[in-house]
Amino acid sequence: MKKVSFDFDGTLSRIDVQNYAKSIIDKAELWITTSRFEDVSRYDFNATHADLYDIAERVEIPKDRIIFTNMTEKVYILDGRAFVWHLDDDWFELKLLQEGPANGIICPIGISVNGNFVPKCNRLL
């Protein structure tokens, strides 16, 4: 089964993206790749991941399929994990995924959630 990745904040946190994720659950293995720190004590405010875990459960993504990048660019974290695509709202992350680092690592195709993402994602599935 093909593997796909969703950013969380600004992407899977959206209802339309959650509905899309639910619609492809039988076609792909769903993952979340978030820039968040896994250790919430790293934040200067009282942070939790309750929102993340709640939505992950709602769209049937198990906790062991949540990747915390700890603010590292996703292009380096997603390298070699065999994802077909990564859906994100951050243009900088998408640019890095599209260009790839100079050492030629293979990364998933970055697709922007800010547009007509469904046909692009479906074509690759």
Buried b (16+ CB within 10 A) or exposed e, 19-39: ebbeebeeebbbbbbbbbeee
Domain boundaries of the chain, sorted by first residue: 2-124
69 or 40, which is more confident? 69
For residue 120, the tally of other CB atoms under 10 A from its CB is 14
Q: Which CATH architecture has domain 2-124?
A: 3-Layer(aba) Sandwich (3.40)
- Average pLDDT over all residues of the chain: 90
Q: 3-state class of 43 per DSSP?
A: coil
Q: What span, in angstroms and rounded, lies between the C-alpha atoms of 88 and 34?
A: 9
Q: pLDDT value at position 41?
A: 72
Contact, 107 vs 100, CB < 8 A? yes
Residue 15: pLDDT above 90?
yes
Query: How does pLDDT run across 27-67, given as a tens digit for each residue?
Result: 999 999 999 988 877 666 667 879 999 999 999 999 999 99
Which pLDDT tens digit goes with each residue over 92-107? Answer: 999 988 887 655 556 7
Q: What's the confidence (pLDDT) of residue 81?
A: 85
Which pTM was predicted? 0.91
